[in-house]
Amino acid sequence: MSLFIKNVELKTNVILAPMAGYSDFAFRKMCSDFGAGLTVTEMISSSALHYNNKKTIDLLHSLDGENPKAIQIFGHSPEIMAEAVKNPVLDKFDIIDINMGCPARKIVSNGDGSALLKDISLAKEIISACVNATSKPITVKFRIGYTDDNIVAVEFAKMCEEAGVSAITVHGRTTSQGYSGDVNYDVIRQVKESVSIPVFANGDCRSKEDLDRILEITKADGVMVGRGAIGNPEIFSELCFNEKKEVDKLSQIKKHYSLVEEFYGENYTVKYMRSHLAYYLSGQYKNTQALVKLLKMEKISEIFDYLNKIM
């Protein structure tokens, strides 16, 4: 059955999460090719867009075939967020997602991300300003609450729907939990029962068994996958089509490096790809000593030669 976010049809109902420091254009394209129903950029600062910051604009780079795709923006000023939504650099994106779930201190202390869970009326103003600024679907990603004793997910979801949001993603943790501890799928189910727009469940989906269990408990329309896809973009083939793909990891790593290098050049690529490499070399390729050596290398040719030897 096809799933739409407003007028945008998703390829499948398992979508890629926005992840700062990981969701580069090459990674997103690989996930999209393996079946991710939607890809999302990492969170983009609305004020950086206001100043046309070059590094920020680079984060919006994309390759042909990454479809459909969303950009995620964050901020706390309704005016600047609405201005960001209208910025022509966003034209190529099908959907605009608003981050109301980031728990990082530097984000929250600025009133951005999950700080908005504590100010639902400001969150609504921001959302309404964005919805009124574009005909594109606006979606919101948020957590179930700031702290355990203040779970606001249902109220927040209803507010989003009222304000004209086309779909929501709920990460089933609170801000205080960060990225660990149990995911509360029951609250996600309560959210699903309280709104009519599509709901995506998020948190700890790393296998087909996880996916089936999450959909069974939450009754969500789809699931968003984050960490399970890092170093493992082929997970979407298993999750979306029940087809476990045996991929040539070495070629996958080289392709990722080469695509990033074509756009950013060698120096940046070597540094940027270190965190991806650590994930690629986890699991069956776990080799800590090799990783320590690789992380010190400065040339892509040197990294490839070494990978050729150990993989």
Ligand X SMILES: Cc1cc2nc3c(=O)[nH]c(=O)nc-3n(C[C@H](O)[C@H](O)[C@H](O)COP(=O)(O)O)c2cc1C
> Which residues are part of the catalytic machinery?
102
- Residue 117 beta carbon to ligand X: minimum distance, rounded to whole angstroms: 13
- Residue 311 beta carbon to ligand X: minimum distance, rounded to whole angstroms: 24
Closest residue to ligand X: CB criterion: 226
Burial-class residue 295 by CB neighbours within 10 Å (0-12, 13-18, 19+).
middle
Among 227, 254, 255, 274, binds ligand X (CB under 6 A): 227
Of 68 and 113, nearer to ligand X (C-beta) is: 113
Q: Give the Cα separation of 276 and 261 in Å (integer).
A: 14
- Residue 226 beta carbon to ligand X: minimum distance, rounded to whole angstroms: 3
- By CB under 6 A, is residue 20 in contact with ligand X? yes
Among 125, 204, 234, 261, binds ligand X (CB under 6 A): 204
Q: Give the Cα separation of 54 and 49 in Å (integer).
A: 9
* Site pattern 101..140 for ligand X (x: CB under 6 A): xx--------------------------------------
- DSSP letter (8 states) at residue 60: T
Question: Can you read off the two tokens belonging to residue 33?
Answer: 């090719």
Question: Can you read off the two tokens belonging to residue 167?
Answer: 């779909």
- By CB under 6 A, is residue 268 in contact with ligand X? no
Q: What are the beta bridge partners of residue 202?
A: 171, 224
Q: Which of positions 21-80 make contact with ligand X (CB under 6 A)?
A: 21-22, 42-43, 72
What spatial distance separates the first Cα and last Cα of the chain, rounded to whole Å? 40
Q: Give the Cα separation of 304 and 307 in Å (integer).
A: 5
Q: Give the Cα separation of 148 and 24 in Å (integer).
A: 33
Positions in the binding site for ligand X (CB under 6 A): 17-22, 42-43, 72, 99, 101-102, 141, 171, 179, 202-205, 225-228
